Amino acid sequence: MALNDIISAIITDAEREAAELTGAAEDAAKRIRTDAEEEAQRLEAAAETAHATAAAQAAARVTSKAAHHVRLIRETARTEVVTAVFDRAASLLSSLPDAEYRSFIERRAHALSGLSGVVTVPHEREAETKKALSASGIATKVIVAPKGSLIGGFILETDDALYDYSFATLLARAHEVEGARLAQALFV
C-alpha cells in the first residue's frame, strides 16, 4: 500500500466517521430541538392556563364585588322605604283628628286606670291629652314636654314603672316587630 492509498483510506475513514458524528450530532440536535419545542409548548400552555386562571379569578372578584354592591344598594333601599313608611305613619298619627286622638289616649289610659304618678304630655296636644287622661281616672302630676319633642301619646311614670305610650315609642316597637316583615312584603 502506497502512501496515497493509506492517506486515501484515512481520509475515507475520517469522512465516514465525520459523517457518522455529524449524523449523530444532527440527530441529537433534532432531539434537543424537539424537546425544547415541546418544553416551550408546555410552558406556553402553563402560562396560558395561569393567565386564564388569573383572569378568571379577577373576573370572579369583580363579579363578587358587584353582587355585594347590588345587595348593599337593595338593603339601603329597603331600609329607606321602611323608614319612609314609618315616618309617614308618624306624620299621620301626629295629625289624627281630635276625636280619634282622644279615643287613642283613652284606650291606652284605660289599662292604667287607678295609677298615679307623673305624666308627660305633648306640648302640641296638651289639652286633649290631659282631658282624655282625666276621663280615664289617672291621678297624675302633668309635665308638658318641650315643643316638638313628643308628637303624641303620653308617658306615665309611677314609683314602680314607666308606661310609655308616646307615638315615637309605639312606632319604634312596631318598626322592630314589623319592619323586617314589611321589607320582605315590599321586596319579594
Per-residue pLDDT tens for 8-65?
Answer: 776 777 678 767 877 887 888 888 888 888 888 888 888 888 888 888 888 889 888 8
Separation between Cα atoms, residue 117 and residue 141, nearest integer Å:
6
131 Cβ contact partners less than 8 Å away, ≥ 6 residues apart: 102
Q: What does residue 116 show for φ and ψ, rounded to 5 degrees?
A: -135, 155
Separation between Cα atoms, residue 7 and residue 14, nearest integer Å:
10
Which residue in the block uniquely carries the three cell numbers 289599662? 111
- When pLDDT is averaged across residues 99-112 and rounded to a whole number, the result is 88
Measured between its terminal Cα atoms, the distance across the chain in Å is 110
**Predicted confidence band of residue 186 (pLDDT cuts 50, 70, 90):** confident
Topology of domain 96-186 in CATH is hypothetical protein PF0899 fold (3.30.2320)
Q: What does residue 8 show for φ and ψ, rounded to 5 degrees?
A: -60, -45
Maximum CA extent, the chain: 152
Which residue in the block uniquely carries the three cell numbers 369583580? 62
Beta strands across the sheet bearing 139-144? 139-144, 116-121, 155-157, 162-164
DSSP 8-class letter at 146: P
CB atoms near residue 142 (< 10 Å): 14
Predicted structure pTM score: 0.58
> In the chain, pLDDT over 90 holds for what percent of residues?
11
Q: Which parts of 93-166 are beta strand (E)?
A: 116-121, 139-144, 155-157, 162-164
